Amino acid sequence: MGLFVYLAIPKTQQMNFFLSSALATTLLFGATALQAQTNMKASDTEYYSPVPPTLTIDHGIPSDAIVLFDGKDLSKWKSEKGKANWTVANNVLEVKPGAGAIETNEHFTDFQLHVEWKSPEVIKGEGQGRGNSGIFLQGHYEIQVLDNNNNPTYVNGGAGSLYKQRPPLAQVIAPDKWHVYDIIYKAPQFSKDGILTAKGTVTVLHNGVVVQNNTQIDGTTEYIGLPKQISHGPGPIILQDHGDLVQFRNIWLRKL
Ligand code: MG
């Protein structure tokens, strides 16, 4: 009977139905399930829709990506005070100390984000005072940018950390001064009443090395005090002005 019902529902739903149905059947009628298993054809567990989109890659950028900074201008960005006015030269974006953070005009939910960054040429300061910037996901959760070349600091504040929450799994030195972050982010979910129903998660590859592995986000990034739960919808990518001449290039995002 289980198999009869299974064949009567749409093909795309059959896998889930089959798996739960098979589990229940195994518990209740183990021998019957084993019999059904042996009667299955390979095609019973294959389906054909929906078909995944076909992408091409141009200079490392997937064809469905939103290019947030291509080296030319800051048209996709703004600042708290209005126009984004960090320095753009030689295809590179540089923090303008005192100008404040910049953020994307567009707001996002779940995404894959690619950012390349470089610590200042002139090394000065130490710890959190050396080459500090940051990438805020949905405007609330900072993936730290910091000079990590022989620059000790608290481990949950280093490059690749989910700032003040989770240290990176490794400290990865840039091969040619330019660092690469590939960030896969799933936004937290909230009920209509603003209660957290699912924590956000983040995976970060730093120069190709996994440094955050599906890390749960406890709440907002706070310099002093514990993370806070703040209900929110889609939010911007924010780049932090921490007073250091950190550079960025080649920033793109894919919505997930
Ligand atoms: Mg920072």
Q: Among 18-27, 198-207, 238-247, which stretch is predicted with the lowest mean pLDDT? A: 18-27
Distance CA 133, CA 179 (A): 13
Structural domain includes residue 87: yes
Residues 30 and 139 in one domain: no
Structure tokens at 167: 């240290």
Judge whether residue 119 has pLDDT over 90.
yes
CB 179 within 8 A of CB 166: no
Domain co-membership, 64 together with 111: yes
Q: How far away, in angstroms, is 189 Cα from ligand 1 center?
A: 25
Over the chain, what is the mean pLDDT?
Answer: 91
Please tell me the distance between residue 240's alpha carbon and the centre of ligand 1 in angstroms.
6
The residues whose Cβ lies within 5 A of ligand 1, an ion, are 132, 134, 240
- Do residues 36 and 149 share a domain? no
Of the listed ranges 34-43, 92-101, 111-120, the one predicted with least confidence: 34-43
Element (H, E) at 211: strand 209-216
* Distance from residue 135's CA to the centre of ligand 1 (Å): 8
Residues 61 and 118 in one domain: yes
Based on the fold, state whether residues 108 and 28 are members of the same structural domain: no
166 plus 193 within the same structural domain = yes
pTM: 0.86
Q: Establish if 129 belongs to a structural domain.
A: yes
For residue 71, report the distance from its CA to the centre of ligand 1, in Å.
22
> Would residue 241 count as lying in a domain?
yes
| Rounded Cα gap, residues 201 and 203, in angstroms | 7
| Residue 150 placed within a domain | yes
- Is 51 part of a structural domain of the chain? no
Specify the amino acid at residue 231: S
Q: Is residue 50 part of a domain?
A: no
Q: Which domain holds residue 86?
A: 57-255
DSSP 94-163: E--TTS--EEESS-BSSEEEEEEEE--SS--S-GGGSS-EEEEETTTEEEEE---SS----GGGSTTSBT
Residues 148 and 21 in one domain: no
Q: Which of 3-17, 98-112, 136-150, 175-189 has the lowest mean pLDDT?
A: 3-17
Within a domain: 140: yes
Together in a domain, 119 and 202:
yes
Distance 256 CA to ligand 1 centre (A): 25
- Does the residue 98 lie in any domain? yes
Query: 28 and 148 share a domain?
Result: no
Structural domain count, the chain: 2
CA of 67 to the centre of ligand 1 (A): 23
Q: pLDDT tens, 78-105?
A: 998 899 999 999 999 999 999 999 999 9
Say what the pLDDT of residue 28 is: 53
Give the tens place of pLDDT for each residue, 173-204. 998 899 999 999 999 999 999 999 999 999 99
Q: In this predicted model, which residue has the larger pLDDT, 14 or 68?
A: 68
Q: Tell me the mean pLDDT in the region 245-254.
A: 98
Q: What is the DSSP string of 66-111?
A: EEEE-SS--TTEEETTEE---EEETTEEE--TTS--EEESS-BSSE
Are 39 and 67 in the same domain?
no
* Cα 250 to averaged position of ligand 1 atoms, centre (Å): 19
Q: The CATH number of the domain where 158 resides is what?
A: 2.60.120.560
Give the H or E element holding residue 183. strand 178-186
